[in-house]
Chains A and B, each alone.
Chain A
Amino acid sequence: MTSKTSSKISLLAALAAAAVLFGCKPAETGTAGGGGSGSGSGSGETKSARAMPTVEGPKVEGDTIKLGLVASLNGASKPWGEDCKSGAQLAVDEANAAGGINGKKIELMIEDSNSQPQDGRVATQKLVSEGALCVLGEVASGITRPMTDVTYAAGVPQVAIGATAVDLTQKYANIFRVCYNDDFQGPVMAKFAYDELKLRNVAVMTDNKLPYSQGLSASFKAAFEKLGGKIASEEFYEQGNAQFTGQITNLKSKNPDGIFLSGYFNEVGPIAKQLRQNSVNVPLFGGDGWDSTELINSGGDAIVGGYFCNHYTSTEDRPEVKDFLAKWKAKYGGEPGTTMGALTFDAANLVIQALKNCKELTAKELIAQIDQTENFKGVTGTITLKGQNGDPLKSALVVKVTRTGFDFAKSYSPEELK
Chain B
Amino acid sequence: MGLGLTLLPLAAFDPATLPGQLVYGILIGSIYALVALGYTMVYGILKLINFAHGEVFMLGAYVALFISWALGYTPEEMQRAPMPSSLMVLGLMLVGSMVVCGLVGVLIEFMAYRPMRNQPRISALITAIGVSLLLQYGGALFLPVSPPPVIREEANPVQGSLRVWIQKPPEPLLGQYTEAEREFEQAKDAHKNEQYKIRTNGTTEEKLAALSDKLAAARTRYSDLERQIQPKSIRLILPHGLLVMAGTSLVLMLFLRWLVMKTKIGRGMRAVSQDFDSAALMGVNVNTVVFTTFLIGSALAGAGAMMYALFQGLTISTFFGVAPGLKGFVAAVVGGIGNIPGAVLGGLIMGVAEALVIWSGLDMFKDAFGFVILIIVLLILPKGLLGSNKVEKV
* A residues with CB within 8 A of B: 24-25, 27-28, 31, 74-76, 78-83, 208, 232-238, 240-243, 245-247, 249-255, 257, 265-266, 269-270, 273-274, 277-282, 292-294, 296-301, 305, 337-338, 403-404
Contacts and interface: CB of A to CB of B under 8 A. Distances in A.
B109 interface: no
Contact of A269 (B2, B21, B315, B324): B315
Contact of B227 (A249, A282, A292): A282
Question: Which among B163, B237, B354, B359 has the highest number of chain A CB atoms within 10 Å?
Answer: B237
A83 B146 contact: yes
Contacts of A257: 227
B226 A243 contact: no
A240 B14 CA distance: 27
Contacts of B391: none
B3 interface: yes
A298 B237 contact: no
Contacts of A294: 75, 147-150, 315
B364 A79 contact: no
A247 B361 CA distance: 9
B11 A254 contact: yes
A241 to B, nearest CB: 7
A8 to B, nearest CB: 27
A251 B239 contact: no
Given A246-B358, A250-B11, A257-B227, A79 B147 contact: yes
A267 to B, nearest CB: 8
Nearest to B25: A246
A293 to B, nearest CB: 7
Interface residues of B, number: 65
Contacts of A254: 10-11
Question: Which among B1, B10, B11, B230 has the highest number of chain A CB atoms within 10 Å?
Answer: B11
Interface in B277-314: 308, 312-314
B85 to A, nearest CB: 12
Nearest to A25: B2
6 contacts: A242-B308, A243-B28, A250-B14, A252-B17, A254-B10, A255-B230
Contacts of B315: 265-266, 269-270, 294, 298
A76 B316 CA distance: 11
B140 interface: yes
A75 B355 CA distance: 29
A236 B146 contact: no
B367 A249 contact: no
B62 interface: no
Contacts of A75: 137, 319
Given A28-B4, A238-B367, A278-B237, 15 more contacts: A74-B140, A78-B140, A78-B146, A233-B9, A235-B363, A247-B358, A250-B358, A252-B230, A255-B231, A266-B148, A269-B313, A279-B222, A300-B154, A305-B219, A337-B147
Given A24-B2, A246-B355, A293 B75 contact: yes
Question: Which among A234, A281, A293, A301 has the highest number of chain B CB atoms within 10 Å?
Answer: A281
Interface in B306-337: 308, 312-315, 317, 319, 322-324
A250 B11 CA distance: 6
Nearest to B73: A297
Interface in B145-170: 145-150, 152-154, 160-161, 163
Question: Which among B10, B75, B137, B322 has the highest number of chain A CB atoms within 10 Å?
Answer: B10
Contact of B10 (A234, A281, A298): A234
Nearest to A208: B364
A74 B137 contact: yes
A249 B146 CA distance: 32
Contact of A281 (B21, B222, B239, B361): B222
Given A31-B4, A235-B363, A79 B146 contact: yes
B75 A297 contact: yes
Contacts of A79: 145-148, 317
Interface in B240-273: 241-242
B321 to A, nearest CB: 10
A403 B11 contact: no
A91 to B, nearest CB: 18
Contact of B363 (A237, A242, A279): A237
B122 interface: no
Interface in B165-218: 188, 216
Contact of B312 (A31, A83, A243): A243
B226 to A, nearest CB: 5
Contacts of B227: 255, 257, 282
What 10 A-B pairs have minimum CB-CB distances, sorted nearest first? A337-B147, A281-B223, A246-B358, A24-B2, A300-B153, A82-B146, A250-B11, A277-B239, A273-B313, A298-B150
Contacts of A266: 148, 314-315, 317
Nearest to B184: A281
B184 to A, nearest CB: 8
Contact of A279 (B226, B322, B361): B226
A202 B222 CA distance: 18
A298 B65 CA distance: 12
B39 interface: no
Interface string B364-389: 10110000000000000000000000
A273 B312 CA distance: 7
Given A208-B364, A232-B10, A278-B237, A27 B149 contact: no
Contacts of A235: 11, 358, 363
Nearest to A404: B79
Nearest to A233: B10
Contact of B313 (A25, A81, A238, A298): A298
A338 B147 contact: yes
Contacts of A337: 146-147
Contacts of A296: 75, 79
A246 B354 contact: yes
Contacts of A279: 161, 163, 222-223, 226, 237
B150 A269 contact: yes
Contacts of A292: 147
